[in-house]
Chains A and B, each alone.
Chain A
């Protein structure tokens, strides 16, 4: 089976990251924003796996496992924040949440 050229992984990773970044900026729903963050994390994980494969080192795979674990934790925390947010504000539309403003 012919090896997939390594830059294909990069292209995939880049496409995923850009998609995630775009979604993170543009989406109104908090859930979608959270999902966009997951996309960006996955893009990073793909890069790690690809480099690990190219250089024959195991470190990259370990990082990928960490990324997956952290992404899960982050999703849990994010969802908890949204639940609380919805309790107090009755909305999880990101643009309505602007209490960072002075």
Chain B
């Protein structure tokens, strides 16, 4: 099966071409192209399953590598190819599964769009195709090309409702902000190419970098991480992701769970063999990760837009993954070196399931009440029980409550960070990062249950709002159709069970480990005992339960009035948080003052110097020819006079000047 791996991105791409062609010709497609998209994306997923079974079944030697020369430009050879190892296998499952479920869900969710869905499905197919191609790429050039395609698709999809100014602005913002990262990424891989003369993963990952090249490698890896910061919306380039909520909710689910933002984590995880040789770069990965996790979680505390809370949550959870990856670096040389890497991949997988579930659940809610504002929701559990229960499970999972999947990965991740505090130089840093991580876990549980209580519990506050849409609704919100609840149920099973499954089958590490060397398989009981013997486990559980309890007291029981906190001692914090730490304003000020200032100077230079020179030349030419025109009398005798005058000058030159010139002429 693995030799058919090239089909994985090709099938969705084919669906994109078919739907795209119909859209261009303005032809009708059944269901707006939905079935074709499902065939393409689902077909890719089916092939992925075959490939992954091959990989996990040990039928092929890993990494599986098939390559073809693309073009040669000595001393460089550029190739295209397929590179499949356990990381690829994991990503294939995650991307394929979530994308397939999202497409199924879209059939219902996007129904009101009518024929406009053709564009939506075409873009979704291209999006999934480029993400899958990114995952199986075998060199950095291929990664970069697909990376850019993913960026383009996110732009198109976030701006799907392009007639809405906010959507158009959000799409532009996403595109421009991630572009900053992309340029860094490009610089990084060009440094790699210049230093090591290749983009190829197998060559790059198998070499040992000489000590004198470590600084340049560190710079290259920092640049590559810069690309990941842009795509995965880490500080300081996190500003685009909350705004990207302007796109359809299905797109948000896809971006947050399977594509785009996961690409950044994937990139760092993929480049891990190089990162471990540049530990300083990985330190920054950890620091940025830990800081962003805390920052984003705190901003989620005050958001009222249901999707924005989830967006901040994504930023925060991705940051956890980076933190885990970075923590792995501090442990290089110890027996647990691979822990950081595997746990972040473990968290990536679990996060994909519960975050997709949360977004699709939010979509189901938005579908029912036609608003994103949690203040207009409430009490929805009675109207839409399936959505409410699946949402609750996902919330418990992300809050890290055992034995749901989020618990296993987050606990392991924080444990790894704590282990890294033994690092001789960076120990203190990691201690701070661990504390930030635990606080983030607390905040995660709090904002998720704030969201849950405000949306599903209590009294419904938005009935009048729903009544504004007669014809679509029958007075009260109602449960979504099976095409939407189906994917929710599938994802709920995964959000609950994926962690338990990984742990019970001998630990995630035994399935998706970095290299063969770290292959260690432990029994279920052993892992359980190990986990619950560690005091760290109880720290994370307490953080999760504490957050939920706090949210319950504030938003369900009403023991603490959030408005009172907001008015009194919480006021300054609340202001800073609602202003998103003034980051957007900072960027705005930077754009207005620095960029526009520089632009004004350049504009002045253009207008008064460049234009002046250009216009001067043309004016001179024009006035010169104007006066020359007067000489063109059309009178033969005038011309003759000029000729004779010219002749006289020529004679003068020949007679008086030429003899006096130095020998050899001019």
Contact = CB atoms under 8 A, between A and B. Distances in A.
Interface string A18-47: 000100111000000100000000000000
Contact of A94 (B632, B636, B641, B644): B636
A8 interface: no
B335 interface: no
B644 A100 contact: no
A24 B634 contact: no
B644 A21 contact: yes
Interface residues of A, number: 13
Interface in B611-663: 632-637, 639-641, 644
A94 B634 contact: no
Interface string B449-465: 00000000000000000
Contacts of B633: 98, 101
Nearest to B639: A100
Nearest to A24: B640
Contacts of B635: 94-95, 97-98, 100
A97 B636 CA distance: 8
Nearest to A28: B637
A98 B634 CA distance: 4
Contact of B637 (A33, A99, A101, A102): A33
B584 to A, nearest CB: 63
Contacts, number: 29
A8 B640 CA distance: 27
A94 B640 CA distance: 12
A97 B637 CA distance: 10
Contacts of A24: 637, 640
B634 A100 contact: yes
A84 to B, nearest CB: 16
A100 B638 CA distance: 11
A25 B634 contact: no
Given A94-B637, A95-B637, A25 B632 contact: no
B474 to A, nearest CB: 82
Contacts of B634: 98-102
A95 B641 CA distance: 13
Interface in A54-102: 94-95, 97-102
Contacts of A21: 644
Contacts of A99: 634
Contacts of B639: 100
Nearest to A21: B644
Which of A25, A94, A99 has the largest count of B CB atoms less than 10 A from its CB? A25
A100 B637 CA distance: 12
Nearest to A100: B634
B644 A102 contact: no
A32 to B, nearest CB: 11
Contacts of A98: 633-635
A95 B636 CA distance: 8
A31 B644 CA distance: 20
Contacts of B637: 24-26, 33, 94-95
A83 to B, nearest CB: 18
B632 A101 contact: yes
A95 B640 CA distance: 12
A13 B189 CA distance: 83
Nearest to B636: A94
Contacts of B632: 101-102
A68 to B, nearest CB: 23
Nearest to A30: B636
Contacts of B644: 21, 25
Contacts of A97: 635-636
Contacts of A101: 632-634
A65 B644 CA distance: 26
A100 B633 CA distance: 8
B217 to A, nearest CB: 70
Contacts of A100: 634-636, 639
A47 to B, nearest CB: 15
A10 B114 CA distance: 100
A100 B639 CA distance: 11
Nearest to A102: B632
Nearest to A94: B637
Contacts of B640: 24-25
A74 to B, nearest CB: 15
A36 to B, nearest CB: 10
Contacts of A26: 637
Interface string B392-417: 00000000000000000000000000
A89 B635 CA distance: 15
Contacts of A33: 637
A21 B636 CA distance: 13
A40 B471 CA distance: 104
A84 B641 CA distance: 25
Nearest to B642: A25
A56 B636 CA distance: 39
Contacts of A25: 637, 640-641, 644
A21 B639 CA distance: 12
A94 B636 CA distance: 8
A82 B222 CA distance: 89
A21 B634 CA distance: 19
A101 B635 CA distance: 8
A78 to B, nearest CB: 12
Nearest to A33: B637
A25 to B, nearest CB: 5
B647 to A, nearest CB: 9
A52 B639 CA distance: 33
B625 to A, nearest CB: 12
A19 to B, nearest CB: 13
Nearest to B629: A102
Q: Which 9 A-B pairs have CB atoms at the shortest separation, nearest pair first?
A: A101-B634, A98-B634, A100-B634, A25-B641, A98-B635, A25-B637, A25-B640, A21-B644, A94-B637
5 contacts: A94-B637, A95-B635, A98-B633, A98-B634, A101-B633
Given A94-B636, A97-B636, 18 more contacts: A21-B644, A24-B637, A25-B637, A25-B641, A33-B637, A94-B635, A94-B637, A95-B637, A98-B633, A98-B634, A98-B635, A99-B634, A100-B635, A100-B636, A101-B633, A101-B634, A102-B632, A102-B634
Interface of A: 21, 24-26, 33, 94-95, 97-102
